[in-house]
Amino acid sequence: MNKTIFITGGAGFIGSHVVRLFVTKYPDYKIVNIDKLTYAGNLENLKDIDQKPNYSFEKADIVDAQRINDLFEQYKPDGVIHLAAESHVDRSISNPTEFIYTNIVGTVNLLNAARTIWKDNSEEKRFYHISTDEVYGSLGDEGLFTEETPYDPRSPYSAAKASSDHLVRAYNHTFKLPAVISNC
């Protein structure tokens, strides 16, 4: 295999489509799907590719720093596409702490593991952090957000995602970790 790519949250609705695309489009890449398999994750979404030789699934919670470090050490990934997140606004209102752990602590665990494993060779490595447009606040009946729109989170969910965005930028700036944020 040429490269190894981690996709977190790869059993979710969007993540499973990303995993399938990468497994199919890059047969020479090892694609490792890391998912906790909460209510939002379903491996049935990936039945059509689960036997492909370039696909692996690892059940793991990104909040578990030791497990994440072990996976980075085992696979030595060249890239991370970070989709795993708690993302339901209503649930963030009833249990904000879960969102803080997953969206902030989980992201930091991934960043630290990438930083450790890539410390001597970050060239051609990449950490893609997938965010949400909700970090920009509420949109009226018309208009649009751009990546220049100021952050204005309005729920524990969007505040946790905004925090993780800022951490990714800080790791990129402070540690020169090759990290990129994409707001969907």
- Which residues carry out catalysis? 133-134, 157
The DSSP secondary-structure symbol of 40 reads: T
Q: Do 161 and 106 contact (CB within 8 A), yes or no?
A: no
Strand ranges (DSSP E) for the chain?
A: 3-8, 29-35, 55-59, 79-82, 126-131, 179-183
What is residue 15's three-state secondary structure? helix
Q: Do 29 and 73 contact (CB within 8 A), yes or no?
A: no
Following CA atoms 38, 41, 47, 52 in sequence, which dihedral angle do they give, to the nearest 10 degrees? -90
Q: Which two tokens stand for residue 29?
A: 């890449």
